[in-house]
Amino acid sequence: MGFPYDDMRSFIDDLEKEGELIRVQEEVDWNLEAGAIARRLAELTQGRSVKKGGQPAAVFENVKGYPKGFRLAVGTHYNPKRVSLAFGLEDSDHRTLQDLQKAFIDAVDHPIKPVVVKNGSCKENKLFGDEVNLYKFPAPMVHEGDGGRYMCTLHFLVSKRLDSDWTNWGMYRAMIHDKRTLGGLFIHSQHGPDIYYEYEAADKPMPFAIVIGADPLSLFFSAAPLPRGLSEVDAVGGARGKAVRMVKCETNDLMVPADAEIVIEGVVPPRVRAYEGPFGEFTGYRASPRDKRPVYAVKCITYRNDPILTMSCMGVPVDEGDIVWSVGLGSMYKRSLINAGLPVVDVNLPPEASGVLTVVSTKTPYRGIAHTIANVLDGEFKMVSMSQHILVVNDDVDIFNIPELLHTWASRVHPERDIFVRRGRPGLPLAPWADLDERQKMTAPSALYDATWSLDWSPEIAIPPKAAFKSIFPVEVQEKILSKWLSYGFNAV
Q: What is the CATH number of the domain that holds 260?
A: 2.30.110.10
User: In what order do the strands lie in the sheet containing 71-74?
Assistant: 21-24, 57-60, 71-74, 308-310
Instruction: State whether 222 and 366 are in the same domain.
Output: no
Residue 66's pLDDT is: 98
CA distance 266 to 418: 50
Q: What is the mean pLDDT of residues 309-318?
A: 94
**Total structural domains within the chain:** 2
pTM, to two decimals:
0.92
Q: Whole-angstrom Cα distance, residue 275 to residue 268?
A: 15
End-to-end CA, the chain: 29
Cα distances from 84 to residues 170, 260, 351, in angstroms, run 21, 21, 16
Could you tell me if residue 332 is inside a domain?
no
One-letter amino acid at 97 equals: L
User: What pLDDT does 105 receive?
Assistant: 96
Q: Is the confidence at residue 384, as pLDDT, over 70?
A: no
C-alpha to C-alpha distance for 177 and 155, rounded to whole angstroms: 18
Residues 280 and 361 in one domain: no
In a domain, 180, yes or no: yes
> Do 30 and 145 belong together in one domain?
yes
Q: Report residue 98's pLDDT band, with 50, 70 and 90 as the boundaries.
A: very high
Q: pLDDT band at residue 381, thresholds of 50, 70 and 90?
A: low
Is the same domain home to 301 and 363?
A: no
For residues 298 and 364, membership in a common domain is answered with no
The answer to whether residue 223 is domain-embedded is: yes
Residue 487 lies in a domain: no
Please report the pLDDT score of residue 431 as a whole number: 82
Considering the domain architecture, whether residues 302 and 360 belong to the same structural domain is answered as no
How far is 305 from 124, CA to CA, in rounded Å? 6
Whole-number Cα distances in Å, 70 to 65, 122, 127, 164, 287: 10, 14, 16, 37, 31
Q: 249 and 345, same structural domain?
A: no
Same domain as 297, residue 371? no
Residues 231 and 116 in one domain: yes
Sheet strands (E) in 86-184: 115-116, 125-128, 150-152, 155-160, 167-170, 174-178, 181-183
* 392, pLDDT greater than 70: yes
24 φ, ψ (degrees, to nearest 5): -90, 115
Domain that residue 407 falls in = 340-472
Q: Looking at the predicted structure, is the pLDDT value of residue 40 above 80? A: yes
- CA–CA distance, 232 with 213 (Å, rounded to integer): 16
Residue 50: HSE in the Cβ half-sphere, 13 Å Cα cutoff: 16
Q: State residue 433's pLDDT score.
A: 82
Specify the 3-state DSSP secondary structure of 212.
Answer: strand
Q: Are residues 361 and 239 in the same domain?
A: no
Residues 382 and 447 reside in one and the same domain:
yes
202: number of Cβ within 10 Å: 12
| Residue 426, pLDDT above cutoff 80 | no
Residue 184: Cβ-neighbour burial (10 angstroms; 0-12, 13-18, 19+): buried
Across the chain, mean pLDDT equals: 94
Residue 380 has pLDDT above 70, yes or no: no
**Does residue 279 form part of some domain?**
yes
Apex 65 CA angle, 6 and 121, nearest 5: 20
Helix axis angle, 97-109 relative to 80-87, nearest 10°?
Answer: 30
Q: Give CA–CA dist 193/13, Å, rounded.
A: 34
How many CB atoms neighbour CB 125 within 10 A? Answer: 13
Cross-strand partners of 347: 360
In this structure, is residue 404 part of a structural domain? yes
Phi and psi for 389 in degrees, rounded to 5? -130, 125
The 10s digit of each residue's pLDDT in 194-212 is 999 999 999 999 999 999 9
Q: Check residue 303 and give left, alpha or beta (phi > 0: left; psi -120 to 50: alpha).
A: beta
Specify if 100 maps to a domain.
Answer: yes
Residue 437 lies in a domain: yes
pLDDT value at residue 385? 59
Torsion angle in degrees (nearest 10) through CA of 115, 119, 123, 127: 110
User: Does the CA dihedral 434-435-438-442 come out positive or negative?
Assistant: positive
Residue 448's CATH number: 3.40.1670.10
CA nearest 309: which of 85, 44, 73, 60? 73
Examine the domain organization and report whether 288 and 432 are in the same domain: no
d(CA 120, CA 6): 11
pLDDT at 382: 55
* Percent over 90 (pLDDT), the chain: 82
